[in-house]
Amino acid sequence: MEKQLKQRCMIYFTGMFLYICAAAAVIQYTISDWYKFMIFLVPYLIMGYGVFRTLSESLLRKKLPADHLLIVLATAGAFGVGRYMEGALVMLLFELGMIFEAVSVDKTKRSIAEMIDIRPEYAVRKIDGIETRVAPWELCVNHMIVIKPGERIPVDAVVTSGITTVDTKALTGEMMPQTVRRGDKIYGGCINLSAMIEARVIKEYKESAVSRIMDMVEEAQNHKAESETFTARLSRVYTPVMFICSLVIMLVPPMTFSYGNWNMWIYRGLIFMIVACPCGLVMSVPIAFLGGIASAARQGIMVKGGNYLESLAKADTFVFDKTGTLTEGVFTVEKVKALGMSEDELIEMVAHIESYSNHPIAKSLVAAYHGRFDRGRVRHMKEMPGYGISASYDGYKVDIGNIRMMEKKKVLIDDEDTTGTLVYVSIGGRYVGHIIIRDKLKEDTRDTLNYLKEKCRAVLVMLTGDTKNSAMAVAEELDIDYAYTNLMPQDKLERLEDFLFLQDDTEKLVCVGDGINDAPILARADVGIAMGNLGSAAAVEAADIILLEDDLPRIIDAIRIAKATLQVVKRNISFALVVKVFVLVFALIGYFGMWEAILIEIVVMFMAIINAAWVVKYTA
């Protein structure tokens, strides 16, 4: 519990003790009206410390907290008509409800933090054979670290020695431990399970996966969902309307059909004001979205704000990248065609040059060569996103890439009718052959897209930089509604804008991608979802929802959690409104007193908290 909350509780219980003493004195002794006013005013002001402080701070920020303002007006009015004990009792019950709410929210936030706080406490750095314990943020790139069994990996690194299994559940949501060996990447926040390993730091702590994820969680609460904004707008209108209605109840009856009964109608007007307090209504929305964010985190889905959950639940258009998103992104060489050299020589040259790239296609070309590498044969390497790679190989200028690369270099090529991806090669501006590679669909791609079509009635779109033949084969296999090929990043953005232009306010567009070339459309979409985020910092920064494991069915989990969260929000709002209308009607005809009205309001608040807490434990 925060220090401020503890202080608020101490002040409140002091005021409650004084109120009990005052009530006992009034019951036991005959006390004048002036003394009653004084002995109840003191505990009233003490118990209302939190309410007065919140109200004053909000007014200084030019905001109007409807619930607090109505309670202060109502209780002050109760003192004005001589209902001192009831006025103080209402403040006692209201502040008690606010404290319980604060404790519940604090506990929820703490449980979320404990559940997803995977930051390591320390790191073991190795210098000249000597191991030294340091803080994770003191590590720099290329520092050598040692991770022993049971220890949490401090930062993103590459294994240099040893073989072990790593528990990635806290980071990805996957139960199955992964085996890592020399050359494999490991990520901060995961746990080393079986053997000691040594690793070389590749990212500083602030740039590592664990730090980025925790930053996203902490920032998530700064993004308001549409329902939260709606309730905030409602409160700004609701407060003056309810205040005017209270005045009408206080003034009109004693001036017309119940002439002269001022005390009774002022009292009923004050009861109306208390019942009208929207605290249960306003509070129920943010805690429901907080629960939704926590539930998603348990599934390995990081949501940057409640507004993205709401948009995801309403999504009806899904735009996908192809390579690495719908497909494995692991290519295999299917065919080699060489002109003026052997196929082995072509593969050897291409593999040497592509060994400098981290692109999935480059890795497949490197894997196709089984000889020894001589990095000295390659000079002046230049990679051009969306085109390919150029370099000097054995003194010759070599260009390797797609058809756009060849057109840019004005190289005449042979046409090839294939559904695979074509990689063209030229030496000194002369075409010397091509390599056909293929990618395969991810295991659950078809089931995921079928769910979107059947359950969400979604329009499916594919935007890819791949060739028409290769991309259209995937689109037809998956029954995708619209497919656009040979797109540069700016072309993808233009196509996305076309779909956004066709949407109205009730429709939402989701974009799913995995690479730096997808960052612009991830940022522009109503909801951007990053796949395989650990390998693409740009995608993580641009996206609104991060799937920590490169696993398409997580999208279904995210949608189910989003819809469950919205159901809780709607239930909370509906329940609060129904109870309020019921109590308001009966308060007007004299069936409820002031303390009974505030007690019912507290029950509404607790029901909202209990209902919202269900989302935290929701499993998609």
Total residue count of the chain as it appears in this document: 620
CA distance linking residue 458 with residue 478, whole number of Å: 13
The vertex-210 CA angle with 206 and 211, nearest 5°, equals 30
> Hey, what's the torsion of the CAs at 595, 600, 603, 605, to 10 degrees?
-100
Q: Is 321 a catalytic residue?
A: yes
User: Considering just the CA atoms, what is the radius of gyration of the chain in Å?
Assistant: 32
* Cα–Cα dist 160/144, whole Å: 9
The residue type of 105 is V
Buried b or exposed e, range 102-135, using 16+ CB within 10 angstroms: bebbeebeeebeeebebbbeebbbeeeeeeeeee
* Cβ-count burial 583-616 (b if 16+ within 10 Å, e if not): bbebbbeeebbbbbbbbbbbebbebbbebbbebb
Q: How many Cα atoms within 13 Å fall on the side-chain side of residue 433? A: 18
Q: What 3-state class would DSSP assign to 440?
A: coil
DSSP count for the chain of H helices, then E strands: 21, 22
Burial (0-12, 13-18, 19+ Cβ within 10 Å), 140: exposed
Q: CA–CA distance from 349 to each of 183, 427, 458 (Å)? A: 24, 10, 45
Separation of alpha carbons 349 and 394, rounded Å: 9
| Torsion over CA: 294, 300, 306, 310 (sign) | negative
Q: Which of 321, 466, 514, 544 is catalytic?
A: 321
> What burial class does residue 516 get, using C-beta atoms within 10 Å of its C-beta: 0-12 exposed, 13-18 middle, 19+ buried?
middle
The single residue listed with the structure tokens 């208390």 is 274
**Structure-token match 């703490």, residue found:** 110
Give the catalytic positions in this structure: 321
